[in-house]
Chain A
Amino acid sequence: MSIDAIDRQIIQATQAGLPLVAEPYQAIAGQLGLTADEVMRRMAAMLENGVIRRIAAVPNHYRLGYRYNGMTVWDVDDNHVDMLGQRVAELPFVSHCYQRPRHAPEWTYNLFAMVHAKTERDAEKQIAVIAELLGGDVRRQAVLYSTKILKKTGLRIAG
């Protein structure tokens, strides 16, 4: 996948957000000296090839009432991690699920799953479901709740 100079300009013009005007793609086009058709065609292509994950609203979890945003981390056997990760990812309340490297001895966790709940009780229930699913494969486990959003701008490429 490669992006050219014009794609790059479109990314820079939209990475902070889409214009809140009736014809936003026309607005971007006007700013860049392109036609609206070309902007739409290129953005559709970037959506198709994954350069754009999606065009959507990103909520502030806390403001929607999701106060318990937990990064659950698990130390499981590397030989089982793919099978287990796949199954954890299928749980409806898990938003992200990754295998990541350990930093032993301080950080021995290799499976990460993000959960989001409105109450502590719901969060605990979700974590219990994951724990049950992982069963005897879990050697160690922790939950790191976010206590503050320090930054949430998304990706920015320099000008």
Chain B
Amino acid sequence: MDDIDKTIINRLQQGFPICEAPYRRVADQLGISEAELLNRLQTLLADGVLSRFGPMYHAEHMGGALTLAALKVPEERFEEVTEIVNAFPQVAHNYARNHVLNMWFVLATEKPEQVLEVIGQIEGQTGLSVYNMPKISEYYVGLQLPV
């Protein structure tokens, strides 16, 4: 990752225009060619430096729902449970964390009632209790990591 990559990452965390040739517009701002921006972006995605590039959809604003949920997974079952949980398309993110509650995932569903349905299915398939922690209040969202 060189300085140009860093500039691209910083710029593209802020947002991306909706216009006919948006990559060209951003490339112009950064002083590089459109082709270079596209090539570098492709590499950053292929290498996993970027997890994703594109629209981030908001489940609640689509009429759906979101929750944060946790599991207490026995260490010897961690891989097996990871596979079960990750197989649900409604699981948007899943992280291992250093706590007795060692698996934390975000569920995003198209309809609000599906949150509890999916939790029920995860409990059924894993035999574990899901700790459901839907937000009560949201104080801030919007992370940018400068590099």
Contacts of A157 in B (CB 8 A): 57, 62, 89, 110
Interface SS of chain A: helix, strand, loop or mixed? mixed
Contacts of B22 in A (CB 8 A): 24-25
Report if A16 contacts B (CB, 8 A).
Answer: yes
When C-beta atoms are compared, the residue in chain B nearest to A102 turns out to be B133
Q: Are A22 and B23 in contact (CB under 8 A)?
A: yes
Which A residues from 114 to 159 make CB contacts under 8 A with B? 114, 116, 142, 144-158
The answer, among A95, A142, A151, A155, for a CB contact under 8 Å with B94, is A151
Knowing that A16-B54, A58-B52, A154-B93 are A-B contacts, what are 18 other residue pairs whose CB atoms are under 8 Å apart, sorted by A's residue number? A1-B63, A11-B62, A18-B16, A22-B21, A23-B21, A25-B19, A54-B55, A56-B53, A57-B8, A58-B53, A98-B68, A103-B131, A148-B96, A149-B93, A149-B95, A151-B92, A151-B93, A155-B108
Q: Are B21 and A20 in contact (CB under 8 A)?
A: no
Chain B interface (Cβ < 8 Å from any Cβ of A):
8-9, 12-16, 18-24, 34, 38, 41-42, 44-45, 47-59, 61-63, 68, 70, 82, 85-86, 89-101, 103-105, 108, 110, 131-143, 145, 147
* B3 nearest CB across to chain A (Å): 14
Given A51-B61, A97-B140, A57:B92 Cβ within 8 A:
no
The answer, among A47, A147, A154, for a CB contact under 8 Å with B98, is A147
The answer, among A43, A46, A144, A151, for a CB contact under 8 Å with B99, is A144
Contacts between chains A and B (CB distance < 8 A), count: 242
Q: Are A81 and B89 in contact (CB under 8 A)?
A: no
Interface SS of chain B: helix, strand, loop or mixed? mixed
Given A14-B55, A57-B53, A71-B97, A1:B61 Cβ within 8 A:
yes
Contacts of A43 in B (CB 8 A): 18, 55
Contacts of B142 in A (CB 8 A): 95
Q: Are B99 and A96 in contact (CB under 8 A)?
A: no
Q: Are A150 and B61 in contact (CB under 8 A)?
A: no
When C-beta atoms are compared, the residue in chain B nearest to A114 turns out to be B143
Contacts of A151 in B (CB 8 A): 85-86, 91-94, 105
Report if A50 contacts B (CB, 8 A).
Answer: yes
Residue pairs across A and B with Cβ atoms less than 8 A apart, 27 shown, are A1-B61, A1-B63, A11-B62, A14-B54, A18-B53, A18-B55, A20-B23, A22-B23, A22-B34, A36-B20, A40-B20, A51-B62, A54-B15, A56-B53, A66-B145, A89-B139, A97-B139, A97-B140, A100-B133, A100-B136, A106-B100, A144-B104, A146-B97, A147-B95, A154-B52, A155-B56, A155-B59
